[in-house]
Chain A
């Protein structure tokens, strides 16, 4: 399998991106297609491990060594078969996943890991381009109807799987477009929305019914819905954002990241923008929060024409290479530089926001203090107070739990201490026949986890309906 000495012969090559200058001028995806020779070389680096840690590093259990080998041999159709056997949407994870597989790659013990993500990305894109992704309707229909509430990655994965098991699936989405955070949360420069659209088309062809613009719990009650379906899968995500309770938070010009990102995505897609315009054009932007959403805010701000972008993170600056506290194969503590960071801006670490101050009700300055950590707890560094010009502040501090009102209120299912839906080993909530998948039961997490949950929930629902399941 693969090339036995590939890892000794070839270096890791990352996926190439368009130049910063070029890409900040538009909203198109920034990654360039990968040449087949490069893929062959990168596939050859895979060592075909006796224990591929990547395979468990990936929440989906992607068969990474297997498709690496197919790619090395140029067998792209087989690679796609292997990829699709564990992952409903590789073209999405290939773009947006932070790739925990790569951090657990055994080559990473003492060398650069295999560039798994670009291989996945390329396999999927090539499969679509060559028309290999076709609809896979079930052999028979069971006559059972399943409702999936929410069309993010968890809901879509569950819907596709359930449909393939022969159930009649209806997906309810309260927004005007299918895709949840994939559609309105992730910027187009990272995930072109056509990618989602073609999946939705495939699923429609397979028989999934999509009903957007309907919010269960408001437009119809949960009981009305439940009466029509044999089982329900709740996949509404974890959308309530974490806030920053400091003085001046009420000033104008301070926004939650998701509101900002969603508006821009709507603009790019040509959809109508609801409410006030939120734009970074001509502003001194401060993004609070150093995660992926923060990065997306930075990239979007640059593209909107921000004067400056500052990114604040309360934690200390991580080391440039894997910290000793997180040895292989753990998810490493390491400085990560996203494509948005490449595009400009300043990153400040170990900084805590004290308050905002403003002029005329609009935010103008952010007052902060440096912190030091002992035993994992931050404490203020005396005399280190400082202020930053900030007339546009974005809060990217993560999400707390699903929206408690509406659907969840009507559902009346049990929740855990963090406010997420409580489920058993088969993803069933405390309400019989109602299942939950993705962030709404797991808490804020990665797209791959959402897909993984959706698949597992689908298998559980299938077993619940039929007594046993043929789904993986």
Chain B
């Protein structure tokens, strides 16, 4: 009943889920069965947010939480022969039990024992009537026996009784978990309470009432019903992970859950018995193993609640709003948050949480507002909240008001008091509970308040510095390419192209331990954040020191060191070393060195000694530990700071003392962003990189930083750059606060031994066990010897280093002078021998391993065949695609060259994210075609018009890119020429920003929605989803397959890029070998593999690479860098600078003229590769390519025994064959069911047949419901297919709808389409609008003020390229994000309106949220600033505010008049009526760069003489 165990690369801890949530409650107090029915109805209307696995009748889970239905239970008990005490004096709950009778009896017995053990009374058991026929096959096979227990209270108060029930449940769970009862995994208690009861299971919404017969009982009543529909990434039967949990249900994902859970475990050690008495030992661990992130959060919330805090208080603690940068927040509320920051780090990630304790029910949204939550209050006292509007239908005049939950805000209903409490009131009351501000002021220490001390003198001699630099392995390249840019510009350096050097575990150069770790990042199940444009939610603050018992609230718990950011200067460290007696005391300094001569044994002894001294320091009352390697010398080598930090962190965790101290690291080895991420991720609270800082001072003093000689300034900029880099890395994972990132271990190790991981990096993902402490010590010794040579005079220069740029004496690169010149000579002279030379260099890696696959070879086949018997190369190349490189990042010549080549061979080229000129859709007279058959849909949605979408064979949703997963991009203004601007629907010379996330994909069900959108627009195209390899990608891919993708692309981390921070190029993501293997294994395990094509890319260069990828499970292959090299690329790595000297990655006409590539070059390359594939197939005796797929048994690990590192690698998990049950497909054999046949558009197309075929105008009226999604897109696709980009004449198709529209209403509507909706709508209205006109207005009968009520959801008009939209009401977050051409009027918006906008015009005549115009580089916004608050809400980093000019005034007036005509807006009417005064209140928002470009384009008036 629980998830399967780890096997191969599958690991259950990567499972994700997400979903729809909702509740309904009555303010009028009286419990009714109607509420239950309404709850079920909500669930039914959220069905599309859930998912099914391979068995269409088994859902991922659904459930319902109600108040204890006393009347009903009382009757049931009577019938069973026992009677219940008064309401509140008994508790009940369903119990999932093993089906086996004996096991069931034993479980029941345990539970009964605990009831007695806690002094309570067993009243009786009831068999819960269920109808298993309602279940799908998989669900039925795994269904538990379900009984209900009744417990009588013997406690002094309801609170104490509730706590006792909690103890009974936890104690029972633990006892059974630790018992030897067979099938004990089936035991689970959904709830046990005197107040609430949960019905849930592995069900589809419609099955819930059929299965649980109770739910149809009229006596079953409640005043509230909280519901949940689940979408999980697996297809495994998991009854207990259905939601709601005991107190909450969750739509979203807690990104930091591993860190949060670890900290919670550490905090438990400080629990004492004040609250729970002796029971305290029974309730641990707080977090039940095997739970999802939501279950884990529920466990912790429950613990804090049972300890005495209220549910809203707990929610404020665990999911605080973004308070650090909110200057408008009152001080006492900030104090509340600051104090609680000392107790617990935020549980960070997208979350719409509904919660209830039975008397209060509420909801809270994460600080980013990344999940939708819409509410409605009716005049008869019903409150409905749900992931969508329209989940319950009401007559318009019944609705009192409707709104949405805003980022970080809470919404609460007190059923006892019968009232709704708004965010401000709840929080005001909680913030004033204690004098939190005074507690903080009296106890917390600020670094700036500590007295100045003499810093340890920076090494004055260059010689001394040089020794340190060498000891820590600094290279010249790091100085010039990493440190210097940071010190100069205050940000991390940018690079381009992918990495092609060995993984740390394959390198022969001594590698820093940091390099063995790769950063994780968010994809699909949660979004990355934009740390620059959405800075207001980000924070680097942290509290450091010993914590108290989280169950209490005491002033002394604020006795911590507060740091605004985690990088300490040498002076800071000196101050800190002396400490502060009244607050944090004196820190203990622990030496982080070992005797280098003693090798691995010495290293281990050094770590042990460090841990021993630390524990001793804690005994002596220190609450801060400073780990320092300053003592390193000729004989004492530094312990790698990461090893030391993680080792100490886990040592203290294991000893239960971690929460007694903060860890500060003073280390010479850390210098780049990745290093700091790791140190903090493994528990360091602050870091002093003294060698890096000294190096920067030296660079500044010696004039090596252009334009900067002040060492103080240089160091400041460096620290700033690191801070920004940290934010960026955190945000890639979707984490907003450093406090949550601290200790969260969001990394994956590649090639460290299982022993090292288990002992020092406990819990870290590591799929490839490898080197041990001995090899690590050897690497340290190699560096040490360079610092302290015994004989030779010291070289005055550092090692050159060549991780980024090739050097003959440096690190190995796969792209090197030999491979590049061999390949280019091969394709230019059609010289197959030269290709063979190239392939041999890449495949054999005779100078030393670079890729994992170099460690493998093929088995000897007993029956090789003639190569003539193998399928022809022309067939194989059809499996080949080229990578997504945008027209913009590469030149037109290079882009078209590849497209022509791929079309000639029936492969596929990819537009990249820059759109495509429509001329290219038309074949050339000679039969060639420049059309890219894969059209990419990336976060920027540049040029994504309906016309573009219908001209594709494949639509690729780019979730992540190998070189910079989790990040957006930026096309600098200097690369945007007139044609690129036209293609992207923007302005030449204006910088274009692609956001890190797709703003319509914050979770898996959102992706499912986008796939549905695209499939509607172009049903003939297959929809692909591009992911990047990381541990857990297989699980994500399973979710993507369930979201109905037709193809999943797994990119390796080493894929190329036109521009990316160096940290990302090197340190994020993992090789595709691991990603493909895991994906194939997990998809097969879930029986999802047969529904999707699996493709891979990322530095695939040869036929052997293709064969290996196929054997690991891929069936199609992408190439990008190699065809570029064939076209002339020489890996200049200057793509980001526009100076490509061979005319590829540049828009400079002088350089483009130098492009010398020909389609033949690319074609020859593809055929050489295919021929090489054939040769290998022949040697293995295989005729058809399909016979290769998933055949890891053809791969044999080479004898790598002579290599000091490779020999230690254990490839068995990677090469484990996927375990396919009988009948389970291992490659694509069946099509996905996209459910298009149910789309409303099928009807619309019939209705509009004449209009489509002859252009005859038509108009129709239809009802609409929230289940009708993406209405209009299929119709739009039909229009674009027939009439191209210009569409139909305006007004040809007029459709009016009544009701609540589902997501993506009017998406991609084209010119000639006019939709009007009376009612309201969900998220993504007008997504990708391509010329259509949309109108949404509240029903005429509604009585509330439109500009104060929510009409449409989040992310409206995302990526719209043209058209108009009129909204007579308020919109949610991110209105008009990335709009590039639509014109719109709206009566109010949420946060981040006009984000990344590049064109079009937005008129807002009501309130706006915060961060208006962030990243807006084009177009105009006009805001009616009624309350004079807009200047504070607008992000003016890229825009300027001004009054309306004459033209503007005229334009806005006209638009408002049209708005009145179309929507009847009373507010617009009012403004128009008094235009001369209302225009004064309008503010125009103009992007600075846009204005500059426009002005430069305006013809200059002739100078008057």
Binds B, one of A15-23, A132-140, A175-183, A283-291: A132-140
- CB closest residue in chain A, given B821: A329
Q: Is the CB of B808 within 8 A of A50?
A: no
Q: Is the CB of B1150 within 8 A of A8?
A: yes
Q: Is the CB of A166 within 8 A of B792?
A: yes
Binary flags per residue of B781-824, CB closer than 8 Å to A gives 1, else 0: 00001000111110111001000111111000101111011001
Q: Is the CB of B1132 within 8 A of A138?
A: no
- CB closest residue in chain B, given A111: B1141
**Any B CB within 8 A of the CB of A5:** yes
Q: Is the CB of A50 within 8 A of B1132?
A: yes
Q: Is the CB of A47 within 8 A of B1134?
A: yes
Q: Is the CB of B1133 within 8 A of A56?
A: no
Q: Is the CB of A139 within 8 A of B821?
A: no
Q: Is the CB of A55 within 8 A of B807?
A: yes
- For window 43-66 of chain A, which residues contact chain B by CB distance below 8 Å? 47-53, 55-57, 61, 63, 65-66
* Complex Cα gap A166–B793 (Å): 9
Binds B, one of A77-85, A195-203, A251-259, A430-438: A77-85
- CB closest residue in chain B, given A1: B480
Question: Closest approach, in angstroms, between the C-beta of B1428 and any C-beta of chain A?
Answer: 47
Binary flags per residue of B1077-1105, CB closer than 8 Å to A gives 1, else 0: 00000000000000000000000000000
Binary flags per residue of A207-243, CB closer than 8 Å to B gives 1, else 0: 0000000000000000000000000000000000000
* Complex Cα gap A143–B622 (Å): 53
Question: Closest approach, in angstroms, between the C-beta of A358 and any C-beta of chain B?
Answer: 49
* Complex Cα gap A44–B1303 (Å): 56
Contact A86 to B809, CB < 8 A, known contacts A49-B1130, A106-B1132, A329-B821: yes
Binary flags per residue of A419-444, CB closer than 8 Å to B gives 1, else 0: 00000000000000000000000000
* Complex Cα gap A78–B462 (Å): 13
Contact A109 to B1130, CB < 8 A, known contacts A50-B805, A139-B790, A470-B791: yes
- CB closest residue in chain A, given B481: A1
Task: Name the B residues within 8 Å of A472 (CB-CB).
Answer: 795, 809
Contact A51 to B816, CB < 8 A, known contacts A5-B1139, A66-B800: yes
Q: Is the CB of A165 within 8 A of B808?
A: no
Question: Closest approach, in angstroms, between the C-beta of A81 and any C-beta of chain B?
Answer: 4
Question: Closest approach, in angstroms, between the C-beta of A6 and any C-beta of chain B?
Answer: 9
Q: Is the CB of A139 within 8 A of B793?
A: yes
Given A52-B806, A53-B817, A73-B704, 14 other A-B residues pairs in contact with their CB atoms under 8 A:
A1-B480, A4-B1134, A8-B1151, A47-B1139, A49-B805, A49-B1130, A50-B806, A51-B813, A51-B817, A63-B807, A75-B704, A139-B792, A140-B790, A470-B789
Residues of A with Cβ closer than 8 Å to B?
1, 4-5, 7-8, 47-53, 55-57, 61, 63, 65-66, 69, 73, 75, 78, 81-82, 85-86, 104, 106-107, 109-111, 136-140, 142, 164-166, 327-330, 470-472
Q: Is the CB of B793 within 8 A of A136?
A: yes
- SS of B interface (majority): loop
Closest 6 CB pairs of A and B: A50-B1133, A61-B808, A166-B791, A136-B793, A50-B1131, A51-B806
**Any A CB within 8 A of the CB of B771:** no
Task: Name the A residues within 8 Å of B1150 (CB-CB).
Answer: 8
* Complex Cα gap A11–B1270 (Å): 59
**Any A CB within 8 A of the CB of B1137:** yes
Question: Closest approach, in angstroms, between the C-beta of A467 and any C-beta of chain B?
Answer: 12
Task: Name the B residues within 8 Å of A73 (CB-CB).
Answer: 704, 706
What are 22 of the A-B contact pairs (CB < 8 Å)? A1-B480, A1-B481, A4-B1134, A8-B1150, A47-B1139, A47-B1141, A49-B1132, A49-B1133, A50-B1131, A50-B1132, A51-B805, A55-B808, A57-B817, A61-B808, A81-B797, A85-B800, A106-B1130, A110-B1141, A136-B793, A138-B793, A164-B792, A327-B821
Instruction: Give the contacting residue for A51; candidates B706, B790, B815, B1137; CB below 8 A.
Output: B815
Q: Is the CB of A56 within 8 A of B808?
A: yes
Question: Closest approach, in angstroms, between the C-beta of B184 and any C-beta of chain A?
Answer: 58
Instruction: Give the contacting residue for A47; candidates B704, B813, B1132; CB below 8 A.
Output: B1132
Question: Closest approach, in angstroms, between the C-beta of A337 and any C-beta of chain B?
Answer: 27
* Complex Cα gap A294–B1154 (Å): 38
Q: Is the CB of A51 within 8 A of B809?
A: no
Contact A85 to B1130, CB < 8 A, known contacts A50-B497, A53-B817: no
Indicate the member of B806, B1131, B1137 with the most A CB atoms within 10 Å: B806
* Complex Cα gap A328–B825 (Å): 9
* Complex Cα gap A321–B820 (Å): 22
Question: Closest approach, in angstroms, between the C-beta of A5 and any C-beta of chain B?
Answer: 6
Task: Name the B residues within 8 Å of A107 (CB-CB).
Answer: 1141
**Any A CB within 8 A of the CB of B1377:** no
* Complex Cα gap A1–B705 (Å): 11
- CB closest residue in chain B, given A166: B791
* Complex Cα gap A76–B358 (Å): 78
Q: Is the CB of A329 within 8 A of B817?
A: yes
Task: Name the B residues within 8 Å of A56 (CB-CB).
Answer: 808, 816-818
Task: Name the B residues within 8 Å of A110 (CB-CB).
Answer: 1141-1142, 1154, 1156
Question: Closest approach, in angstroms, between the C-beta of B1157 and any C-beta of chain A?
Answer: 12
* Complex Cα gap A69–B805 (Å): 14
Indicate the member of A50, A61, A81, A104 with the most B CB atoms within 10 Å: A50
- For window 91-106 of chain B, which residues contact chain A by CB distance below 8 Å? none
Instruction: Give the contacting residue for B795; candidates A1, A49, A52, A85; CB below 8 A.
Output: A85
**Any A CB within 8 A of the CB of B1480:** no
* Complex Cα gap A66–B1139 (Å): 19
* Complex Cα gap A82–B807 (Å): 13
Task: Name the A residues within 8 Å of B805 (CB-CB).
Answer: 48-52, 65
Indicate the member of A48, A51, A109 with the most B CB atoms within 10 Å: A51
Task: Name the B residues within 8 Å of A138 (CB-CB).
Answer: 791-793
**Any A CB within 8 A of the CB of B866:** no
Indicate the member of B480, B818, B821, B824 with the most A CB atoms within 10 Å: B821
Q: Is the CB of B792 within 8 A of A7?
A: no
* Complex Cα gap A75–B706 (Å): 12
**Any A CB within 8 A of the CB of B1478:** no
**Any A CB within 8 A of the CB of B1431:** no
**Any A CB within 8 A of the CB of B419:** no
- CB closest residue in chain A, given B802: A55
- CB closest residue in chain B, given A59: B808
Instruction: Give the contacting residue for B820; candidates A51, A69, A81, A85; CB below 8 A.
Output: A51
Task: Name the A residues within 8 Å of B790 (CB-CB).
Answer: 139-140, 470
* Complex Cα gap A140–B788 (Å): 13
Q: Is the CB of B791 within 8 A of A139?
A: yes
Instruction: Give the contacting residue for A109; candidates B809, B815, B1142; CB below 8 A.
Output: B1142
Question: Closest approach, in angstroms, between the C-beta of B1503 and any C-beta of chain A?
Answer: 31
Question: Closest approach, in angstroms, between the C-beta of A280 and any C-beta of chain B?
Answer: 42
**Any A CB within 8 A of the CB of B476:** yes
Instruction: Give the contacting residue for B793; candidates A49, A86, A137; CB below 8 A.
Output: A137
**Any A CB within 8 A of the CB of B828:** yes
Indicate the member of B476, B481, B1156 with the most A CB atoms within 10 Å: B476
Task: Name the B residues within 8 Å of A52 (CB-CB).
Answer: 805-807
Question: Closest approach, in angstroms, between the C-beta of A202 and any C-beta of chain B?
Answer: 13
- CB closest residue in chain B, given A330: B821
* Complex Cα gap A321–B826 (Å): 22
Question: Closest approach, in angstroms, between the C-beta of B96 and any C-beta of chain A?
Answer: 59
Q: Is the CB of A51 within 8 A of B1130?
A: yes
* Complex Cα gap A441–B728 (Å): 56
Task: Name the B residues within 8 Å of A85 (CB-CB).
Answer: 795, 797, 800
* Complex Cα gap A164–B793 (Å): 7
Task: Name the B residues within 8 Å of A82 (CB-CB).
Answer: 797
Question: Closest approach, in angstroms, between the C-beta of A311 and any C-beta of chain B?
Answer: 32
Task: Name the A residues within 8 Å of B704 (CB-CB).
Answer: 73, 75
* Complex Cα gap A142–B1134 (Å): 47
Task: Name the B residues within 8 Å of A7 (CB-CB).
Answer: 1139, 1141
Contact A81 to B791, CB < 8 A, known contacts A5-B1139, A107-B1141, A110-B1154: no
* Complex Cα gap A237–B1447 (Å): 85
* Complex Cα gap A137–B785 (Å): 19
Instruction: Give the contacting residue for A4; candidates B785, B800, B1139; CB below 8 A.
Output: B1139
Question: Closest approach, in angstroms, between the C-beta of B822 and any C-beta of chain A?
Answer: 11
